[in-house]
């Protein structure tokens, strides 16, 4: 690869990183502002759940749409409309709309989220294949960091006691401001050697196995992000200052794992890293479920984050390596399991907790995560390097 090609690839990597960060920021600003929308519209928790479900359903539609467009036009084409649609949704959420009108707005936003989730995954793997080594965790790290930044921004806005809608405006402006540069800077998918009529069927067996892994990880993630504060407060009787620390420790650990995960993959191999991550994640959940004191549970949630943080990026990479010429479609289908896991992790945990208690509800994903060991051998290393990945 020439010096000019190396420099171009480095610039492309920067813009793909920006795309990951934008996706994390926009979604975080919506999710963390749901209490403000709840107060403005007078809706309850059940209605909020319906709104979130609407986002997830249309996000699934968006990721399927991305899977149809990307093989024909390239994954870079997907991301600009993804962020534009999300920005429009954010602006509409600033309006004082009645509850019924929120559903089409959140449906529109969800469509953009799905396009964005699929698009950044496709772009990340395209650039990784050009580098010929694992860099996918770093992309996800910036998405996590931006999500944390978004949550802190909302906290600052709330602390200043200004309109919570300011957060929506900030995200929309940032998203739109980057669109012209993203359009030029994102990676162009390498030319396909197989004509559309000759393409093989998707590798459904491998896709299903990897998809179940993604779903299980997001079940565990949903338990921690949605229920850790409730567990610390109601079961372990933690002080108010300690209650949010479970979530904070988990997210901080996820960020740390993703920042350094690729180094471990290069040194030890993908299968070994996944095996270690599974043991950490399952052990962390077990520790939290059995915790005799709040600080032990917080430690357990941090250990969980160290494990769960790297499994999804490496799962996307391993699935993409199964059939590189169908990578965009594979990412699109695999992304659906993300939303399935979120729904199950957030909703089913509450049902289990009502019947058997929160400790058992946390124990269930610990066992499910441990089951990933049965497919760890499929995370074999192998990142092919195409002839070149250009920028649009």
pLDDT in tens, the chain (392 residues): 688 888 889 999 999 999 999 999 998 888 878 777 777 877 776 777 788 889 999 999 999 999 999 988 888 899 999 999 999 999 998 888 888 888 999 999 999 999 999 999 999 999 999 999 999 999 999 999 999 998 888 888 878 878 888 888 988 999 899 998 888 888 776 544 444 445 678 899 999 999 999 999 999 998 898 888 889 999 999 998 888 899 999 999 999 999 999 999 999 999 999 999 999 999 999 999 999 999 999 999 999 999 999 999 999 999 999 999 899 999 999 999 999 998 888 778 888 888 899 999 999 999 999 999 999 999 987 654 444 444 44
The whole domain housing 7 covers 3-188
Domain boundary among 162, 188, 214: 188
Indicate whether 341 and 277 sit together in one domain: yes
In a shared domain, residues 363 and 218: yes
Same domain, 159 and 208: no
Report yes or no on 335 lying in a domain: yes
Residues 315/85/147/186 CA torsion (nearest 10 deg)? 60
Q: Is residue 383 part of a domain?
A: no
- Residues 71, 37 within the same domain: yes
User: Dihedral of CA 160/162/163/169: which sign?
Assistant: negative
The confidence score (pLDDT) of residue 84 equals: 95
Q: Does residue 301 lie in a domain region?
A: yes
Picking from 138, 163, 188, the residue at the C-terminal end of a domain is 188
Helix (H, G, I), strand (E, B) or coil at 391: strand
Residue 225's pLDDT is 87
CA–CA dist 221, 241 (Å, integer) = 22
The number of distinct structural domains making up the chain is: 2
Domain assignment of residue 245, yes or no: yes
Indicate which CATH number applies to the domain containing 319: 1.20.1250.20
Concatenating the DSSP letter of every residue in 93-138 gives: HTS---HHHHHHHHHHHHHHHHHHHHHHHHHHHHHHHHHTS--HHH
Shared domain for 184 and 206, answered yes or no, is: no
Q: 277 and 366: one domain?
A: yes
Give the pLDDT of residue 3.
80
Shared domain for 173 and 282, answered yes or no, is no
Residue 45: the pLDDT is 65
175 and 49, same domain (yes or no)? yes
Q: Indicate the residue among 150, 165, 188 that finishes a domain.
A: 188
Same domain, 168 and 259: no
**Does residue 163 belong to any structural domain of this protein?**
yes
174 Cβ contact list (under 8 Å, min separation 6): 22, 25
197: in domain: no
* Inside any domain, residue 250: yes
The span from the CA of 390 to the CA of 130, in Å, is 10
For residue 386, is it within any domain? no
């Amino acid at each position: 690869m020439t010096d000019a090609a190396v420099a171009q690839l480095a610039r492309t990597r920067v813009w793909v990183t920006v795309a990951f960060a934008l996706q994390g920021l926009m979604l975080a600003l919506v999710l963390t502002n749901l209490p403000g929308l709840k107060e403005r519209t007078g809706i309850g928790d059940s209605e909020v759940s319906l709104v979130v479900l609407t986002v997830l359903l249309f996000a699934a539609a968006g990721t399927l749409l991305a899977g149809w467009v990307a093989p024909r036009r390239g994954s870079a084409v997907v991301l600009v409309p993804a962020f534009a649609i999300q920005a429009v949704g954010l602006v509409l959420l600033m309006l004082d709309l009645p509850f019924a009108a929120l559903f089409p707005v959140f449906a529109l936003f969800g469509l953009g989220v799905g396009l964005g989730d699929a698009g950044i995954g496709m772009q990340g793997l395209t650039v990784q294949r050009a580098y010929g080594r694992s860099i996918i965790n770093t992309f996800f790290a910036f998405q996590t960091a931006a999500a944390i930044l978004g949550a802190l921004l909302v906290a600052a806005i709330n602390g200043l006691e200004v309109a919570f809608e300011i957060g929506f405006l900030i995200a929309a402006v940032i998203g739109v401001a980057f669109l012209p540069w993203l359009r030029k800077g994102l990676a162009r998918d390498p030319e396909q050697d197989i004509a559309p009529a000759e393409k093989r069927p998707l590798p459904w067996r491998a896709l299903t196995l990897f998809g179940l892994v993604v779903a299980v990880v997001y079940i565990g993630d949903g338990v921690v992000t949605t229920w850790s504060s409730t567990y610390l407060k109601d079961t372990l009787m933690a002080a108010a200052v300690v209650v949010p620390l479970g979530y904070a420790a988990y997210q901080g650990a996820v960020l740390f794992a993703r920042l350094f995960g690729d180094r471990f993959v290069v040194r030890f191999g993908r299968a070994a890293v996944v095996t270690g991550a599974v043991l950490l994640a399952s052990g962390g959940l077990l520790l939290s479920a059995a915790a005799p004191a709040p600080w032990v549970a917080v430690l357990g949630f941090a250990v969980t984050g160290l494990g769960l943080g790297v499994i999804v990026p490496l799962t996307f990479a391993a699935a993409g390596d199964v059939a590189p010429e169908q990578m965009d479609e594979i990412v699109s289908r695999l992304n659906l399991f993300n939303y399935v896991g979120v729904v199950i992790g957030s909703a089913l945990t509450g049902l289990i907790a009502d019947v058997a208690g929160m400790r058992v509800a946390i124990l269930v994903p610990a066992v499910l995560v441990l089951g990933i060991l049965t497919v760890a051998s499929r995370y074999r290393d192998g990142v092919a390097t195409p002839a070149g990945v250009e920028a649009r």
